[in-house]
Amino acid sequence: MSQRIISYNINGIRAGIKKGLLEWMKEEDFDIVCFQETKAQPEQIDTGAFETMGYHHYWHSAEKKGYSGVGTLSKREPDDVILGCGIEKYDREGRIIRTDFDDVTLLNCYFPSGTSGDERQGFKMEFLADFFRWIKELKAERPKLIIVGDYNIAHTEIDIHNPKGNKNNSGFLPEEREWMTKWFSSGFTDAYRHLNPEKVEYSWWSYRAGARKNNKGWRIDYQSVSNPLKDKLQKAGQLNEAVHSDHCPVFVEIAW
């Protein structure tokens, strides 16, 4: 059975709803929707609208109001739902939801950003190291993994509009890009790049200087699939026409 999964950093779900998010979702009718940066507590969201569309919904919000947070919506009810990764400093920020469907595990993730300064960049690098170790253990137990979300890193020069000008900026630092290379060498495939090896598309644009209109963007939203699922990939891409956020949704179609 083919599943159409989207991952969308919505940059505030309440703001997205005001910009027509619900109407767009009704039209598209995805099987699974993974939101990042919801910036809301569950009680602040009209979850009834998602239930009307046939979704089971699960939310992991940050302790700090109006910050971070992830939400996973699925037409099929998962066998198991786990909020967080068990590491308190990340779970306080509402960064990961795990949902299990038979022998497939889907992780909806919002990786930290380091753009606000050295302290958060250090936090981001700690997260990357801890996440890598955690996933290695999880993959030994659950080999069929799909890990979608905002990774906050552009991997290679084809994934960013101005690689030379951004080489010293968080999100395109050599150590972050090296982590991505290590990640995709550890039993995971970049679904989009695997199916679109030469295509130039982005998933995030600054609000400044008409970046989106001029397509001066970064591809920082990814769908990683573990090796047992690689041959099940059917399609992957960016849905650039959706404008509820400074990101666009990214999608993958996969048979499982």
Is a pLDDT exceeding 90 seen at residue 256?
Answer: no
Total Cβ atoms within 10 A of residue 102? 10
SS3 breakdown of the chain: % helix, strand, coil, rounded to 5? 30, 30, 40
Q: Which residue has the tokens 């972050």?
A: 176
Mean pLDDT score of the chain? 97
Is a pLDDT exceeding 90 seen at residue 120?
Answer: yes
Domains contained in the chain, CATH given: 2-255 (3.60.10.10)
Is a pLDDT exceeding 90 seen at residue 1?
Answer: no
Q: What is the mean pLDDT of residues 152-161?
A: 98
Summarised one tens digit per residue, pLDDT across range 37-67 is 999 999 999 899 999 999 999 999 999 999 9
Q: Which of 174, 168, 154 has the alpha carbon at shortest distance from 216? A: 154
Report the percent of the chain where pLDDT is more than 70. Answer: 100
Q: Please state the pTM of the whole predicted model.
A: 0.97
Is a pLDDT exceeding 90 seen at residue 92?
Answer: yes
Q: What is the mean pLDDT of residues 72-91?
A: 98
* Residue-level pLDDT at 146: 98
Amino acid identity at 138: L
Dist. CA 154–CA 94, nearest whole Å: 22
Summarised one tens digit per residue, pLDDT across range 71-81 is 999 999 999 99
Residue 27 token pair: 């039209």
Q: Reduced to 3 states, what is the DSSP secondary structure of residue 99? A: strand
Dist. CA 55–CA 77, nearest whole Å: 8
Q: What is the mean pLDDT of residues 115-137?
A: 97
Q: What is the mean pLDDT of residues 178-196?
A: 98
11 Rama class: left (phi>0) / alpha (psi -120 to 50) / beta = left
Which residues are identified as catalytic? 110, 150
Helices (H), 71-190: 88-91, 118-141, 174-183
The interaxial angle of helices 174-183 and 118-141, nearest 10 deg, is: 10
Q: What is the mean pLDDT of residues 128-137?
A: 98
Which string of DSSP letters, residue by residue, matches 22-49? HHHHHHH--SEEEEE---S-GGGS-HHH
Is a pLDDT exceeding 90 seen at residue 16?
Answer: yes
Phi, psi at 27, each rounded to 5°: -70, -40
Residue 153 token pair: 């890193």
Separate counts of helices (H) and strands (E) for the chain: 7, 14
Question: 161-194 burial by CB neighbour count: b if 16+ within 10 A, else e?
Answer: beeeebeeebbbbeebbebbeebbeebbbbbbbe
User: Do strands 70-74 and 2-9 pair parallel, antiparallel, or not at all (unpaired)?
Assistant: unpaired
* Residue-level pLDDT at 27: 97
Summarised one tens digit per residue, pLDDT across range 193-226 is 999 999 999 999 999 989 999 999 999 999 999 9
* Residue-level pLDDT at 246: 98
CB-hemisphere CA count at 13 Å for 72? 29
Q: Reduced to 3 states, what is the DSSP secondary structure of residue 245? A: coil
